[in-house]
């Protein structure tokens, strides 16, 4: 059966990429979460989607231009409701501590770096190994060169190619749109991580499967689409609503 991963946790109901969102996803029955990693000015991997913190905190500025201690000054929960007031930004270390205790699987997205010497791949792998979670982690990124670095540094870890149309155009990797299964296979990655719109092509999941590539699809919040994903053999379904999608998947499996 497909693994159900909370997209930045149960982010339909709790502030994304926070402890509250992760714990809620697990309490709903999710197998794990998909989350995002940035590097602070002082070299600490933290959990945050956007490059800047304006959308989801009471602060302003870019993660990579702030120290971890500076980021700790801000509230990352209140924007979603008073019940989440006081949520602090999580470090990757803290995230993996939660994952080790309560998740079967976790998808870590490495964000494209503003500074090439950030060491995001090395620092992420160091913490994954520290928590002895190499066999429960999928690394992915829109920057596929980061995944190639991860392959060299830790050949046993799972790697995935994230893509959607805007990122394909931005990075000039039109080969993905021509023949995504061949592109991912040529890179030697274990997973393709496409936006759900890319699964509309008939038989596309089978084409990946035939090459030994798993599919982790985002972001699936509609029950009937989740059921189609299961039928087609998608390995991981990433959703903002783990409760809704788990119910839909259970119905089809029953």
DSSP symbols for the chain: --EEEEETTTTTTS-TTSHHHHHHHHHHT-SEEEEEEEE-TTS-EEE-SSSBSSTTSS--SBGGGS-HHHHTTS-SSGGG-GGGTTPPPPBHHHHHHHHHHH-SEEEEEEPPPSSTTS-HHHHHHHHHHHTT-GGGEEEEES-HHHHHHHHHH-TTSEEEEEE-HHHHHHHT-THHHHHHHHHHHHHT-SEEEEBGGGGGSTTHHHHHHHTT-EEEEB----HHHHHHHHHHT-SEEEES-HHHHHHHHHHHH-
Half-sphere exposure of 211 (CA within 13 A, CB side): 22
Active-site annotation holds for 38: no
User: Which domains are seen in the chain, by residue range?
Assistant: 3-253 (3.20.20.190)
pLDDT band at 112 (very low <50, low <70, confident <90, very high): confident
pLDDT of 171 reads 72
pLDDT band at 254 (very low <50, low <70, confident <90, very high): confident
DSSP bridge pairs for 214: 191
- Least confident piece of the model among 30-34, 154-158, 171-175: 171-175
pLDDT of 191 reads 98
Active-site annotation holds for 7: yes
Residue 114 has pLDDT above 80, yes or no: no
Nearest to 215 by CA among 169, 142, 163: 163
Distance CA 229, CA 231 (A): 5
Residue 172 has pLDDT above 80, yes or no: no
Proportion of the chain above pLDDT 70, given as a percent = 99
Residue 168 has pLDDT above 80, yes or no: no
Please give the mean pLDDT across all residues of the chain. Answer: 95
Residue 116 has pLDDT above 70, yes or no: no
Which of 38, 49, 144, 232 is an active site residue?
49
Residue 72 has pLDDT above 70, yes or no: yes
Which of 7, 38, 144, 232 is an active site residue?
7
Distance CA 127, CA 132 (A): 8
- Token pair in block for residue 249: 């998947």
Residue 226 has pLDDT above 70, yes or no: yes
């Amino acid at each position: 059966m497909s693994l159900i991963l909370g997209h930045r946790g149960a982010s339909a109901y709790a502030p994304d990429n926070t402890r509250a969102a992760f714990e809620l996803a697990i309490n709903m029955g999710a197998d794990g979460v998909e989350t995002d990693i940035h590097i602070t000015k002082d070299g600490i991997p933290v959990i945050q989607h956007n490059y800047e913190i304006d959308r989801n905190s009471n602060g302003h500025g870019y993660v990579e231009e702030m120290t971890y201690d500076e980021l700790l000054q801000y509230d990352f929960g209140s924007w979603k409701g008073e019940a989440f007031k006081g949520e602090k930004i999580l470090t990757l270390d803290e995230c993996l501590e939660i994952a080790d205790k309560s998740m079967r699987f976790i998808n870590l997205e490495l964000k494209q770096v503003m500074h090439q010497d950030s060491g995001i791949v090395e620092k992420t792998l160091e913490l994954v190994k520290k928590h002895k979670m190499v066999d429960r982690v999928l690394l992915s990124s829109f920057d596929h060169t980061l995944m190639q670095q991860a392959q060299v540094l830790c050949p046993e870890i799972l790697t995935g190619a994230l893509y959607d149309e805007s990122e394909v155009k931005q990075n000039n990797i039109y080969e993905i749109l021509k023949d995504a299964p061949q592109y991912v296979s040529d890179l030697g990655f274990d997973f393709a991580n496409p936006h759900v719109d890319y699964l509309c092509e008939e038989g596309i999941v089978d084409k990946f499967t035939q090459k030994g590539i798993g599919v982790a699809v985002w972001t699936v919040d509609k029950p009937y689409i989740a059921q189609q994903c299961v039928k087609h053999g998608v390995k991981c379904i990433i959703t903002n609503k783990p409760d809704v999608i788990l119910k839909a998947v259970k119905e089809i499996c029953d």
